């Protein structure tokens, strides 16, 4: 390639795509916190509900395992139409471990949002 030749449009778009791929999560985080168009209070309330769901799941005994449960409305968050679910299942490889996943969901189909927490813990059978 000669010193005076500029990069092709394809190369420029490729570099822009790579940079966007790595920078996009930080741009989204900044926009949620900095732009008042987005209701960040909704995200905060949903994260609190998610933490409460995970605490509830961690309090359950090992034998009470749920796989592929349905989303149910969360009390106290009716104004957001917040739905939550908990999945508890045995770890596929290690017998004494359990996988716990809590999820909350709100919004309608094209603008639906989900938050989730996952936990791997050791439970003993009593």
- Tokens 């090992």, residue located: 62
What's the pTM? Answer: 0.62
Over the stretch 16-40, which tens digit does the pLDDT of each residue have?
Answer: 888 888 887 777 666 555 555 555 6
| pLDDT confidence bin for 73, thresholds 50/70/90 | very high
CA distances, 25 to each of 8, 34, 112 (Å)? 27, 14, 18
CA distances, 68 to each of 53, 56, 85, 88, 119 (Å)? 15, 17, 9, 9, 16
The sign one gets for the Cα dihedral 52, 53, 56, 58 is negative
What pLDDT shows up at residue 82? 92
SS3 (DSSP) at 9: helix
Over the stretch 97-126, which tens digit does the pLDDT of each residue have?
Answer: 888 889 999 888 777 888 888 888 876 655
| Tokens (6 digits) for 103 | 């999820």
CA distances, 63 to each of 19, 41, 97 (Å)? 47, 36, 12
- What is the pLDDT of the chain when averaged over all its residues? 79
Contact of 90 with 121, CB cutoff 8 Å: no
Over the stretch 78-99, which tens digit does the pLDDT of each residue have?
Answer: 888 899 999 888 878 877 788 8
């Amino acid at each position: 390639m000669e010193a005076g030749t500029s990069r092709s449009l394809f190369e420029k778009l490729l570099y822009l795509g790579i940079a966007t791929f790595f920078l996009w999560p930080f741009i989204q985080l900044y926009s949620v916190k900095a732009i008042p168009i987005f209701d960040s209070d909704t995200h905060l309330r949903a994260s609190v509900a998610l933490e409460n769901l995970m605490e509830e799941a961690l309090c359950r005994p090992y034998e009470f395992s749920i796989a592929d449960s349905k989303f149910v409305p969360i009390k106290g968050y009716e104004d957001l139409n917040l739905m939550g679910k908990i999945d508890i299942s045995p770890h596929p490889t290690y017998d004494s471990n359990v996988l716990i996943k809590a999820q909350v969901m709100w919004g309608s189909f094209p603008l639906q949002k989900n938050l989730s927490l996952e936990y791997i813990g050791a439970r003993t059978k009593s």
